[in-house]
Structure 1
């Protein structure tokens, strides 16, 4: 499980991790073999085990290349990567979340894969996801998966106890408030969602689109748009939920943690699609009592976005010692045989989604896919209408997150949005963002 906060503070580990023996997949390279290195951010145990197996399989398949594998703790990623780059020892291949790809491409940190991976290998990828790894007409990463940032999971049994229809989750923001009031007791929160500026910064991206039809900065990043009055309705919802005690005043768990729902401490929970794997793994007896739906929209229109699609890709460093071999591994893992990839989605309880048609078709034929009873609903109601994660500077997202946090605290909403607008305007000037957007 991970969040964009973890993504924000993560980038790859170097000498410390290597010294600690956290690598896998290859011993000393044989004479005449090209040695390349993969740095993978630490995910769940199941995902880490899958990467280890994939690296071992790749090395068995190669005569001229050996791949070394390092798993990096998320909280040391940025620091380790910067140190490695400064020392000229950056990994050849590494995991990156989509929102960082355009910036890395623009600043020359990673290299285009178009010349290194044949054109036919790019066929069958969803265009919106492919656009997330493109810059200036070139492709800088090969999409591996997508996972929507915000899904509404809820307890059907608690709905029934409160006199609500278990098969009809709230469709509008006002219904979310009304349902939340009915579901709140002294022991159970009506809804659990993000409650601090960092989590609010990324978990509300889809709702920002829903409220105003745009993000709080112009498409070309030249002007702030946080002061749009359309955002008032979004901040008002959070203020009402928090001030009326529908949301717990003290967090029950870190945001994106599915346990409060499984433990019966909340009747509704906003979390990414990855929550499904936790619920299936740790609360199997409750699965039939848990429902999933798209987050409510402001006006009840279910075709408007309420979530963004994050996910992970593999990139090749601009200074890779063997760019062709590195891109060859990326292609071997993500663009060719689907067997290993289907195993990845199976290991993660089909709580993530493949943007590659051949993989999605293979998953659909796998009987194990039925183990996740929410997968189809999330795919059809959330993934279908979600927007891509924004690629602008994280500080822009944080400025809006601060505004929502101020609303939670009961502060004036108009003033909070004006402050966010002013901060984003300053960020545009300070970081020369104008014109860098698409």
Structure 2
């Protein structure tokens, strides 16, 4: 048992002992302790009840979405079971299935799960629908919270702030994700390109893709699939092209929600994106997601790709991939006329409002997201992006994740610090619906069923109707 967790466990047991002594001593003629009448003791009674509930809760039901955190945690959560005598029912589902199931569970006020996993687009939907339990009272209760273990100030504050809704904190961040440009240095060299010089702009990216797309090599890979819950597929990557070309979803989020999807800049970004996937990518690219890009990388026939920074272990796994670590370059995404714009997606652990074991869930969260555990997840597992800067500076973490002699880590931190957009999507409760509308029409452009100009005009009208019904515009 770690020192910090021992301290929290000892604190909890001490409170329980005090409760027991109070119940056995004092005035025998009264069933209520005399101290309850004071305001301070009322707080003490509340603290004791929380610790008592924690001790009684010997089961924890967890449902996480498939990914590096969930798969890495699967390797070590039994340590928590052994230390605290708790049975953990641990389930992992793929992203599409997961969010479909979660939507049913949360909207039906199910109490089946004590801990769930969310991403930025889903978080606002869940918080605004009152499906999540606020953490503020749990944090304030020192009988079940170890401030040193929690180290709230040690978490990246922008990621913590992303878990706030109407001045309450509804989750703790696991990691902040962005995308990177990857390229095969050996294929660059074979095509007569400088292997150390990636494309700096979107136009250069297309020029490079044209040169590389031959002899069984595909020029570039980016996501083309329709949106899944407002966060996956093309809606994760196309917006960075749109923003860098001067486009936007709305006039001035959140002050003016008038859609601007039919502007020349947005239309141009759709035409550009469609051109890349239709003409310079692998077969099926117009409907691909990150799994398909990963397969193409592992097969060794993709010259450039833009995708999540956290997926890098899968690209260079020698047991699965023909692509060698030493052949891969890493850089922030290319720039457009308005500069570089990268996505930002905060992943979090959250407690459902109707969870049966809230105190136990909170106890596990402190353990799971502590610096010590995150280092373990990054060294014993494959968690490469985390929510604590201290972990990135940990020698063991650096040694395990020193991909490309530090080039990957440097590129990711550069992107998060300088190019990742906190408001990458106009997030509100309507966003998943808006994302589906936009991605569906862009997908029709990919399929050559409609022009980009026509598609975005119709999408603009449908998004405007969604916002009118929500009361954002008249």
TM-score, normalization by structure 2: 0.74
Counterpart CA distance in 2 for 1:207 and 1:252 is 16
Offset of residue 205 of structure 1: 3.1
Counterpart of 1:278 (choices 314, 326, 346) is: 314
Change over 3 Å in CA distance of 1:38–1:203 after alignment to 2: farther
Distance 1:349 1:291, change over 3 A: farther
CA deviation vs aligned residue, 1:3-60 (integer Å, no higher than 9, x gap): xxxxxxxxxxxxxxxxxxxxxxxxxxxx97313423232525x755532344322233
2:200 matched to 1:164?
A: no
C-alpha deviations, 1:363-408, integer Å up to 9, x for none? Answer: 6764223245442233234222212453342221222223433443
The structure where helix makes up a greater share of residues is: 2
**Cα distance change of structure 1 residues 226 and 380 upon mapping to structure 2, 3 Å threshold:** same
Residue 315 of structure 1 and its aligned partner are, at CA, apart by 0.7
Cα distance in 2 for partners of 1:49, 1:72 equals 8
In structure 2, what is the equivalent of residue 399 of structure 1?
Answer: 437
1:54-69 counterparts in 2 under 5 A? 54-62=76-84, 66-69=86-89
Instruction: Name the CA distance, whole Å, in 1 between partners of 2:78 and 2:184.
Output: 41
Name the SS of the counterpart of 2:402 in structure 1. helix
Gaps spanning 5+ residues in structure 2: where?
Answer: 1-53, 141-146, 228-232
Q: Cα deviation per residue 1:84-116 (whole Å; 9 max; x = unaligned)?
A: 553743312212223222221111100111221
Corresponding residue for residue 354 of structure 1: 386
- Alignment match, 1:178: 207
2:401 corresponds to which of 344, 369, 383: 369
Question: 1:196, 1:371 → 2: CA distance?
Answer: 28
Post-superposition offset of 1:211: 2.6
Kept in 1: contact 2:402–2:409 (CA 8 A): no
Q: Aligned partners of 1:76 and 1:181: how far apart in 2?
A: 37
The separation in 2 between residues aligned to 1:360 and 1:376, in whole angstroms, is 9
1:266 aligns with 2:302: yes
Give the secondary structure class of the aligned counterpart of 1:313: strand
Q: CA deviation at 1:133?
A: 0.9
Q: CA deviation at 1:256?
A: 1.1
Structure 1 length as normaliser, TM-score?
A: 0.79
Q: Cα–Cα, structure 1 residues 298 and 404, in superposed 2: closer, same or farther, change >3 Å?
A: farther
Which residue is equivalent to 1:413?
Answer: 452
Q: Secondary structure at the match of 1:191?
A: strand
Q: Of the candidates 58, 70, 77, which is equivalent to residue 35 of structure 1?
A: 58
1:344 aligns with 2:377: yes
SS at match of 1:397: helix
- Counterpart Cα distance in 2 of 1:407 and 1:136: 38
Distance 1:219 1:207 in 2: 18
Q: What is the alpha-carbon distance in structure 1 between the residues aligned to residue 288 and residue 447 of structure 2? A: 19
Contact 2:61 2:90 survives alignment (8 Å): yes
How big is the shift at 1:357? 2.6
Match of 2:234 in 1: 200
1:378 is aligned to 2:411: yes
1:127 — aligned with what? 157
Q: Which has the larger radius of gyration?
A: 2
Q: 1:133 to 1:415 in 2, by over 3 A?
A: same
SS in 1 for 2:200: coil
User: Following TM superposition, by how much is the alpha carbon of 1:227 offset from its aligned partner in structure 2, in angstroms?
Assistant: 2.1
CA distance in 1: counterparts of 2:216 and 2:322, whole angstroms:
22
Contact 2:226 / 2:287 at 8 angstroms: preserved in 1? no
Q: Supply the RMSD in Å over aligned alpha carbons.
A: 3.1
What is aligned with 1:16? none
1:288 counterpart residue number: 326
Matched, 1:187 2:230: no
Residue in 2 that maps onto 1:387: 421
- In structure 2, distance between residues paired with 1:47 and 1:284: 25
Matches for 1:215-294 after TM superposition, within 5 Å: 215-216=249-250, 218-220=252-254, 222-242=257-277, 245-251=279-285, 254-257=288-291, 258-281=294-317, 282-283=320-321, 286-294=324-332
Tell me how far apart the structure 1 counterparts of residues 214 and 332 of structure 2 sit (CA, whole Å): 24
Equivalenced residues, count: 394
CA distance in 1, matches of 2:246, 2:312: 29
Give 2:464's aligned residue. Answer: 425
The 2-side partners of 1:111 and 1:33 are apart by 20
The question of whether the paired residues in 2 share the 8 Å contact of 1:153 and 1:290 is answered with: yes
Structure 1 alignment gaps of length 5 or more:
1-30
